[in-house]
Structure 1
């Protein structure tokens, strides 16, 4: 196993972790501030991907498509919050699960009606095409490195937003005591809509960037949503720091598990059998890690921290 191949897989895990962070950050904000279980968050990821693909195909510009993904996902999130989610805050979690699951079905069928059942494809912008050299003689795709860079910038921006701005102060206060912040004159409904739109925009951004690496299709948000829930359970609900650490942990463990386990098992069994067993074990690995962390830290690694 070469050093270049190992570094490449580590970078793949980091890139996956950054994508999961963009989805999980919005999800943990929404759950932490509003106490809302939003199963439809993955649909906002899908909306961002479709908006980017459609606008890029119409204009020939990936960057306009990226802007469209942010706008479309944020608008869809705000509309969803005002029309439906707002009525669920005082309901129990079962009602929230049922209502947001219904939203998944509605948004999936609406997207299929607008764009059809066939997948769309996004081209990597010319500025980010090509590869950069890795230690040991390998190369790594420049676009994937750009995704990692965007994720780091967003993480820093979110941390500064939450910890250093008036809006962040209101978000943290709303998480701690929504009745008190409403009594102090803050428009809690507007605050909730802003938080929901912000979380939706982050999910849309993730969908747009991933769309250039895989096909854009209906239902693409649900697998990402499952991993995002694992991330926020590991990191701690309501914590941006926890979402970042949990996402990187999940991304690296999942990627390295799929890469290393079949190779290790091949030392003791036939290669074909090792590949099957290794793939099965790798798919379980992040859930084993989650169970171990919850056994030691039942509220997650950074529960109660910004």
Structure 2
């Protein structure tokens, strides 16, 4: 395997990891602060992707499409928090799972009714449609590099928001002792709505960014949601740093596994069999990684007991 191919796959893994981080960051905020298992988080990813595709088709502007994905996902997230989620905080996790699973069905059928069953396509902006020559003469997609850059900017922004601002102080306090900050006069309801809307906006942005690489279709959020749960289990529930590290580990493990494992098994068996075995093991690799982390660190890499 050439060095160029390895570097390209590492960059692909980083891009995949950044996309997972945008999903997992909102999910870990919601679960860590609010104690809510939100299976509908993948639907908010889908809302952002469809909003971006619809606005891009109408205006031709990719920036407006990204803004629409953030706004649509945040607004929808705030609405479902006010109407549905708020009634689930004091219920057990089974009730939360059932209610948010019902939201998945509602979102899927509503989206199918509004946009139809056929996939939509979001074009990569012309300015980012080419490649960038990296050190060593490696040509890599400008758009994928932009996704990596956006993920880094969001990670830094979330760190500063949570560690350096008054709102971040309230979020951290709410994670540790929600009754106490309520007694000190903080409006818990508004704080929870803000957190849920922020998590939804990050999911929507992730959906919009990936929508230009893949097709935008009903049900696209659920497979990503499963991987986002793997990320927060590996990184530690409630930890933004853990979500970033976990997402990068999952992205690299999955991407490199899908390339290297078939090549490895090709030394021992026919090409078709090697591809089949390697792809199957690559699909399992992220769950093997999660199991290995939990054996040595049951709370995740940066989680607390």
TM-score by length of 2: 0.99
Look up the match of 2:118: 118
> What are the within-5 Å matches in structure 2 for residues 1-306 of structure 1?
1-304=1-304
Q: Secondary structure at the match of 2:149?
A: helix
Unaligned runs of 5+ in 1: none
Q: CA separation in 1, counterparts of 2:127 and 2:229?
A: 33
> How far apart are residue 137 of structure 1 and its match?
3.9
Q: Is the CA contact 1:81–1:196 (under 8 Å) kept in the aligned structure 2?
A: yes
Q: Is the CA contact 1:242–1:302 (under 8 Å) kept in the aligned structure 2?
A: yes
> How far apart are residue 110 of structure 1 and its match?
0.4
Q: CA separation in 2, counterparts of 1:15 and 1:304?
A: 28
Poorly superposed stretches of 4+, deviation over 3 Å = 134-138
Q: Is the CA contact 1:13–1:251 (under 8 Å) kept in the aligned structure 2?
A: yes
Q: CA separation in 1, counterparts of 2:60 and 2:34?
A: 39
Q: CA separation in 2, counterparts of 1:164 and 1:61?
A: 34
Q: CA separation in 2, counterparts of 1:77 and 1:127?
A: 31
Q: Secondary structure at the match of 1:154?
A: helix
Count matched residues: 305
Q: CA separation in 2, counterparts of 1:244 and 1:136?
A: 27
Q: CA separation in 2, counterparts of 1:31 and 1:136?
A: 43
Q: Secondary structure at the match of 2:79?
A: helix
Q: Is the CA contact 1:258–1:279 (under 8 Å) kept in the aligned structure 2?
A: yes
Unaligned runs of 5+ in 2: none
1:260/1:135 CA distance change after superposition, 3 Å: farther
